[in-house]
Chain A
């Protein structure tokens, strides 16, 4: 299939939408489809072969922050030419409600157009005033996708209409293999239970109570006195001193706080511990950390919240414990630390279960959307009006 993808934000600035488009385009290329991505970028910036620059983006205040967007006659003309020259079977526009290339593409094209909505805002600053301008462009979108329940709610409430839900993917192979961090033994899967030793991991905002680090610290207070070799690895944004304040002085040298770490070290952290804990108290819609830990094959202990229960297949791919219950977490952790065979089994189950969230699965679902809206023999054409 010949697919044209429109990226609204500058390619070389890191961002969730850009990352999403890159992963999607590469997954579609790997499946053997012809993909062209048009994006705001300088003509001389280094770009992958499948990316076409539409000119420099301009920083403008938009929706409460400064966004780098491409608009104006030059960008419009380039988008129009790109549509005319490529004979796409389907056009996939990202964030079509942003005043950038996506909106210009809707304006310049007729035919099967798929739109993906990423943003979610609880309060609309501008949408109501701009709705009539947007409406006639958005009306042309024949299939709408939202990347989260929140994005879908935003769409329904602010722009009207509905969308199908296809969540973001995880590039599971990025996490599959890594050396443990220096000073850590790594996972003892399959080995004899090491007497009292072992390591527990946590990753997430340390100063955000909903991430539940305080629950894990209380559980560690219960476990550590009985297991002299047990250590706790904590990584994520926040103040290390606040963490140590919650740990009794005798145990402080067994808690290692790494703070913010690089993407590569994050992967190594998942491979450094025997069990990984996600003690979140709620408010998670999916749990990207959980999916990453599963991709790394870490044996998991997670709060029994709706989102985690779904991802962990009701406990088959990881142990669930009652939300906020430190004693139950301590007990479950002890059991798991003493049972290498069970850890190995959970690790394998987690790696299998996370495949449902892999980019290849997401790309397959997006392709099914394309196949639903494509009309045989009639592709995307330049709009007359």
Chain B
């Protein structure tokens, strides 16, 4: 019967289109997960870099020993913190940097000495990149969480085994360099 054939063709077309749509949604979600992972790697790299520059500054003899100790301790804590206390340790490093940089004539004193200006520039770049990387990571997390909340994604296991990403919340207000 031709009408039966039309019916069959119609349903095949419907199934095909639904399949295309679901696969498109799955691709989008997959791309978002990749974006989150890439952004997370960039954030980790930026945090490691910041701690390394702070340790370099602490070891540079540009500062007095007490200031050096404050910075070295905060950077070490940030580096060795476990997943649970990571955000607190990184916030503490930001606060230590601010406290140090707010000493009267901090910049003027450091700039006068040998490789002071180069080190301050490196620190400025490292601090700003933490801000950038964190903003980009949280932005990717927000987009992914919204996509995962959609009905279709929840009904079909399109997210696979990927765990839901979490925001990274720290105090990253920059020091006055």
Contact = CB atoms under 8 A, between A and B. Distances in A.
Contacts of A371: 129
A339 B118 CA distance: 38
A161 B129 contact: no
Contacts of B133: 372
Contacts, number: 55
Interface string A111-144: 0000000000000000000000000100110111
A373 interface: yes
A163 B140 CA distance: 11
B27 A385 contact: yes
A299 to B, nearest CB: 24
A160 B38 CA distance: 20
A143 B143 CA distance: 13
Contacts of B35: 139-140, 142
A162 B28 contact: no
B67 interface: no
Nearest to A378: B38
A375 interface: yes
Contact of A161 (B39, B125, B142): B142
A142 B39 CA distance: 8
A159 to B, nearest CB: 10
Contacts of B146: 160
Interface in B1-44: 24, 27-28, 31-32, 35, 38-39, 41-42
B88 interface: no
Contacts of A375: 38, 41-42
Contact of B131 (A142, A144, A160, A164): A164
Residues of B in contact with A, size category:
20 to 34
A139 B131 contact: no
Interface in A366-385: 368-369, 371-373, 375, 385
A161 B139 contact: yes
A365 interface: yes
Given A372-B46, A375-B38, A164 B135 contact: yes
B132 interface: yes
B101 interface: no
B73 interface: no
B143 to A, nearest CB: 6
Contacts of A144: 135-136, 139
Nearest to B28: A136
Contacts of B138: 162
Interface of A: 136, 139-140, 142-144, 160-164, 365, 368-369, 371-373, 375, 385
Given A161-B143, A385-B24, 7 more contacts: A139-B31, A142-B38, A143-B136, A369-B132, A371-B129, A372-B136, A373-B136
Interface of B: 24, 27-28, 31-32, 35, 38-39, 41-42, 46, 125, 128-129, 131-133, 135-136, 138-140, 142-143, 146
22 contacts: A140-B35, A142-B136, A142-B140, A144-B135, A144-B139, A161-B139, A161-B142, A161-B143, A162-B139, A162-B142, A163-B139, A365-B128, A368-B125, A369-B132, A371-B129, A372-B46, A372-B129, A372-B133, A372-B136, A373-B42, A375-B38, A375-B41
